[in-house]
Structure 1
Amino acid sequence: MWGIVAGASLISTGLAAYEIVPASVTPLIRDSLGIGPTTAGLLVGIMFGAAVVASLPAGAALDRTDSRTAMALAVVTLVVAGTWGWIAGRRGDFRSVIASRALGGIAYVVVWNAGIDLVSRAATRENRATAVGIFTASGPIGFALGQGTGPLIARRFGWPAIFVAFSGLAVVGLVLFWPVSRGLGRSPGDAPSLREFGAVLRKREVWSVGLLGFLGYALYLFVNSWGASYLSSELELSLAVSGVLVAVFPAVGVVSRISSGLLSDRVFGGRRRPIVLGSFAVAAPLVLVFTRFRSLPVLVGILLLSGFAVQLTLGLSFTYVREVVESRVAATAVAFQTSVGLAGAFLAPIAGGVVVDRAGFETAFLLAGLLALCGIGLAWTAPEPGRS
């Protein structure tokens, strides 16, 4: 099982780095292409928008086909998308860059849904949340890698090189993943009916967990997308230093996402709701006060603690949603969770850009904190799998 987790995680790490890396060099891209902050938000947001649209069809297909083969095809798609974006960036063709990022978003969501499906099926009920938590830790590892190395890559090779820099990591992951995952493909006889798919979308518990994911991802992407710009614009730090400092926000998710599964499985006896409730309860006040401080040690501390808290939800929600549906439609439930969660990720960078442009960073972070407060209320009433 752990070989499957390692290989799938490495693939996902490469995709996550590709996904977030434009945020680390947004000022360079804006100056080069002559675009504003709202338009620049599309560089990250478009991937999530494409993933929102593609996720549910991808999940339905994964419940009926071979998730293992889908992973391989997604890695090939990433290589194509990255090369396309690099060429378009060198030509200064912004529309083509955006189109390449949309293609990358489809690759990302297939890897994410298929990875969770395969890891969950390889694990037992007793360690499923832990295994899925380890896989989802690939997200913050990739985000930290993209945020921390993006400015260095751009300085050495030019900013368009950020789009091809992480494809090799996904290819190496596929080489590791392919042999150990043999036999995990889904046969046509396992395919659920269309009525079962529809039942997933009508289930209240699925929507509750999905909305928690929406709020968690909105917070996560807002800070990732605009944290570095805040530090460089308001505190006058260099872009490289700002990127490294903000990288701690996703990086702490390596511990957080793994911890979410361990805490739920071992400390709370398999209960999911207490972890999610605690996640938003800690994150809300930290995001609300972020712009009140100018001390770098304090800001780094807030980034660490809030990053840890937010990602407790992101690490657990995919196990959570699988457990409120029948196993035959688990991939569809995961795809729904991905779609709704990534809708928050899609909207946050763009909406954040609009608010920053019109009202400033302080108002933008205040609104993000209010979203976290909404998460507390929603988590309080969320269902507990297997309990009335």
Structure 2
Amino acid sequence: MTSRLTTTQSEDATNSEPQQNHQSTWGLVVGASLISTGLAAYEIVPASVTPLIRDSLGIGPTIAGFLVGIMFGAAVVASLPAGAVLDRTDSRHAMALAVLTLVAAGTWGWFAGRQGDYRSLIASRALGGVAYVVVWNAGIDIVSRAANAENRATAVGIFTASGPIGFALGQGTGPLIAHRFGWPAIFVAFAGLTIVGLLLFWPASRGLGTTRGDAPSIQEFGAVLQNRNVWTVGLLGFLGYSLYLFVNSWGSSYLTAELGLSLAASGLLVAVFPAIGVVSRISSGLLSDRIFGGRRQPIVLGSFGVAAPLVLVFTRFRSLPLLIGLLVLTGFAVQLTLGLSFTYVREVVDSRVAATAVAFQTSVGLTGAFLAPIAGGVIVDIAGFDTAFLLAGVLAICGIAVAWVAPEPGGNSEAF
């Protein structure tokens, strides 16, 4: 009787282990995604209340655009060093440290905003940029290793979709928070979400923090930098992120300044632009694999081909339903490239340097994200919104040209 009971208990424990592991994996994915969502919302939220910040601090559109762009600039600088450190340390502890860093950066930004200290505010945002890139790199690493082969793509897709979800959250709620608590409060508003995410992530990620493998060597960096196809895909990422951040940063201000909408209304409208990325980023791989038989070039070509005319005509319409439709279609089109580019760049190099190629793609894409809000502010200041959106449309046309000559994966590792 005792033997039978012991056997039954052993079988029950064995049967429950996969379920426990499954629950733990998805607890980790949800926790990491909440952390990333909070960081993404913190990242974009100044764009939703730019007129308030400009009036309060007495700054022009160029300087105001820097409040968004500085985070991407800091991430560009920190991305490769952060990746090298993560290769040699515990990614789990790095995620926790990044959350604490965001809380410190947000609190710092709140104090700086209340005191009208623009330089201190910029410094706090740069610190937040470092936290962002650590969470992004460490999150992808841990989520990839936690999931099994059958659900790995789904798990990573859910995590990366946290970016557009966070952007939509920041764009949609930023004006409401600013109206209720004052605009400096936007810098601390999303810290609580990252803390909740950490509370879910921490127990579920136990034993998954340490990354095995060496940091990329100088020879691996050299191989990537000499590869023509890597530069082509990198340029697609640069153009895609430039369009994405330009509309995110200046779409709300356009609707407020030119159409007379309230900040709350314009923020909610523009929030649909990043929000559609939840569908777009996940579906880009499905379209490529299922419809085009694994080909990548038709997806990026279609991405820019649809986005270009939509951006070019955006300021020609005054109908709100039509503008919402344009934002949805443009957001979907642009984020097809963003969803596919990190998979794409891995496939045009030898697997030996795939991780290095992804790190390069991150840096190049974030460079576009850093420059677009600032350049957009300069153009708006000098020539107005019509010219700014026209030039953004020209960027999309350049994307069509680059996508036209983009390589297909499979043996295409030609160097200069």
Instruction: State the TM-score, normalizing by the size of structure 2.
Output: 0.88
Over 3 Å counting, the alpha-carbon distance change for 1:2 and 1:162 in structure 2 is same
Shift of 1:111: 1.3
C-alpha contact 1:60 1:197 (8 A) present in aligned 2: no
Structure 1 residue 294 and structure 2 residue 318: aligned? yes
Task: Please give the residue correspondences for 1:1-388 in structure 2 after superposition, counting only pairs within 5 Å.
Answer: 1-122=25-146, 130-187=154-211, 189-327=213-351, 329-388=353-412
Number of residue pairs the alignment of both structures matches: 388
Over 3 Å counting, the alpha-carbon distance change for 1:187 and 1:137 in structure 2 is closer
Percentage of matched positions with identical amino acids: 85
- Take 2:390 and 2:153, find their aligned partners in 1: how far apart are those partners? 32
Single out whichever of 98-107 and 199-208 deviates more from structure 2: 199-208
Single out whichever of 317-326 and 296-305 deviates more from structure 2: 317-326
- Take 1:71 and 1:328, find their aligned partners in 2: how far apart are those partners? 26
Aligned partner of residue 138 in structure 2, secondary structure: helix
Aligned partner of residue 134 in structure 2, secondary structure: helix
C-alpha contact 1:26 1:40 (8 A) present in aligned 2: yes
Shift of 1:120: 3.9
Over 3 Å counting, the alpha-carbon distance change for 1:308 and 1:194 in structure 2 is same
Over 3 Å counting, the alpha-carbon distance change for 1:326 and 1:129 in structure 2 is farther
RMSD after superposition: 2.0
Shift of 1:212: 0.9
Over 3 Å counting, the alpha-carbon distance change for 1:189 and 1:334 in structure 2 is closer
- Take 1:275 and 1:102, find their aligned partners in 2: how far apart are those partners? 34
AA paired with 1:222?
F
Aligned partner of residue 41 in structure 1, secondary structure: helix
AA paired with 1:197?
F
- Take 1:235 and 1:106, find their aligned partners in 2: how far apart are those partners? 36
Shift of 1:242: 0.8
Over 3 Å counting, the alpha-carbon distance change for 1:189 and 1:304 in structure 2 is closer
AA paired with 1:96?
S
Shift of 1:112: 1.5
C-alpha contact 2:42 2:190 (8 A) present in aligned 1: yes
Return the index of the structure with the highest Cα Rg.
2
C-alpha contact 2:84 2:216 (8 A) present in aligned 1: no
Shift of 1:2: 4.1
- Take 1:125 and 1:5, find their aligned partners in 2: how far apart are those partners? 15
Aligned partner of residue 59 in structure 2, secondary structure: coil
Aligned partner of residue 237 in structure 1, secondary structure: coil
- Take 2:136 and 2:101, find their aligned partners in 1: how far apart are those partners? 14
AA paired with 2:364?
V
C-alpha contact 1:209 1:317 (8 A) present in aligned 2: yes
Q: Which runs of 5+ in 1 are unaligned?
A: none
Over 3 Å counting, the alpha-carbon distance change for 1:205 and 1:132 in structure 2 is farther
- Take 2:308 and 2:144, find their aligned partners in 1: how far apart are those partners? 30
C-alpha contact 1:12 1:112 (8 A) present in aligned 2: yes
Instruction: State the TM-score, normalizing by the size of structure 1.
Output: 0.94
- Take 1:329 and 1:124, find their aligned partners in 2: how far apart are those partners? 23
Shift of 1:116: 2.6
Shift of 1:328: 5.7
Aligned partner of residue 143 in structure 2, secondary structure: helix
Q: What's the counterpart of residue 5 of structure 2?
A: none
AA paired with 1:218?
S
C-alpha contact 2:296 2:344 (8 A) present in aligned 1: yes
Aligned partner of residue 261 in structure 2, secondary structure: coil
AA paired with 2:397?
L
Q: Which protein has greater RCO, CA pairs closer than 8 Å, 6+ apart?
A: 1
- Take 1:2 and 1:302, find their aligned partners in 2: how far apart are those partners? 35
Over 3 Å counting, the alpha-carbon distance change for 1:66 and 1:268 in structure 2 is farther
C-alpha contact 1:62 1:331 (8 A) present in aligned 2: no
Shift of 1:94: 0.7
- Take 2:134 and 2:87, find their aligned partners in 1: how far apart are those partners? 12
Shift of 1:148: 0.6
